[in-house]
Structure 1
Amino acid sequence: MAKHRALLEDIDGRCNFLAARQASRYLTAAYDQALSPANLRATQFSILYKLARNGPTTIGELAAAMAMDRTTLASNLKPLERDGLLELTPGQDRRAKQVVITTAGVSRYRIAFPLWQAVQTEFEDCYGQKRAEELRNSLRRVLISGFNPWAENERNLP
């Protein structure tokens, strides 16, 4: 085992993906736990928020707003649709389905919001409000950096 370690470059402190995923899993666990009394996971809460805030939207537009691929989004929409919190309806263009939050979805969002607010405040109290704001701003800048994980062209591989 030690022989293999010598061949590996140490990326622990340099890997953007590893650091982001570790923090993401950590925060996801905290938000999922906080939202569990509303029977929602953090991603589901975020989807309901986007729909409540922006109104009906296509799956493609929602995927872009959530920075998710369509397949992952579709798997997150299924339980929300099953529970009657949203509906998938034909859009203007019949090929593009619209995602619409239902009255039950708005109600569930309103139940979940104070739970989200409590965990948000708890995190900011522990991490620091200013640092949390800087963290959010840094993460948003990643999304507009020009780095495109869904680009059609191939990555330069050795």
Structure 2
Amino acid sequence: MVTTPTNLDNPCDNLTLRKATRYLGATYDKTLASVGLRATQFSILQRLGAHGEMTITALADMIAMDRTTMASNLKPLTRERLVTVKTSEADRRARIVTITPEGLSRMKAALPLWREAQTRFEERFGADEAALLRTALEAVLQTGFTPWAE
């Protein structure tokens, strides 16, 4: 028989958050599949569409992702010619990401599907509750942790 220490019987914020993230993320992934995007890819294209070109580091910071994971997420988007990644002329160490016309078109095709997923979630969870959840989760990002600091 395996026994668990009593301190692990308490709710785990990380596990609860990850479970909810996987659940909701899979819902958005399924909704966006018909246009060939995953939710993370849509978010990247949407950020680039709204803010223009930026460094991989700035994009990763905007999405709260470490730079290495962002670079990995950009590879399929680059292969599909939805984004370009080029060395910065100002700083040869920096890589600049730009959404292509094809990427903008794909993001626009995905937008109604994303809105559909958003609406379905807010209908089931509650629009006010969803707004409060977004506010609470944004506050998590201000807790002072530095998960990707080198």
Quick check: TM above 0.5? yes
Whole-angstrom distance in 2 between the partners of 1:63 and 1:53: 15
Partner of 1:100: 98
Please give the secondary structure, in 2, of the residue aligned with 1:87: strand
Task: Tell whether the 8 Å contact from 1:12 to 1:18 is kept in structure 2 after alignment.
Answer: no
1:65 — aligned with what? 62
Q: How does 1:32-51 map to 2 (within 5 A)?
A: 32-51=29-48
Residues 13/40 of structure 1: CA separation in 2 closer, same or farther (3 Å cut): farther
- Matched to 1:20, the amino acid is L
RMSD: 1.3
Q: CA deviation at 1:73?
A: 0.8
Distance 1:18 1:144 in 2: 19
How far has the Cα of 1:89 moved from its partner?
1.3
- Bigger drift between 143-152 and 132-141 goes to 143-152
Mind listing any 5+ residue stretches in structure 1 that lack a counterpart? 153-158
1:80-104 CA distances to partner (integer Å, 9 max, x unpaired)? Answer: 0000000001212121010000000
Structure label with greater radius of gyration: 1
Question: Which residue is equivalent to 1:85?
Answer: 82
What's the CA shift for 1:13?
Answer: 5.0
**TM-score after normalising by structure 2:** 0.94
Q: What fraction of aligned residue pairs are identical, expressed as a percent? A: 50
CA distance in 1, matches of 2:6, 2:40: 34
Q: Which runs of 5+ in 2 are unaligned?
A: none
Tell me the alpha carbon deviations over residues 52-97 of structure 1, each in whole angstroms, 9 at most, x when there is no partner.
0010000111111111111111111000000000000121212101
Q: TM-score, normalised to structure 1's length?
A: 0.90
Tell me: CA distance 1:74–1:22, structure 2 relative to 1, closer, same or farther (3 Å). same
Runs (4+) of structure 1 exceeding 3 A deviation are 10-13
Give the residue type in structure 2 aligned to 1:28: G
Q: State the 1:147 CA deviation.
A: 2.1
1:29 aligned to 2:26?
yes
Matched AA of 1:117 = R
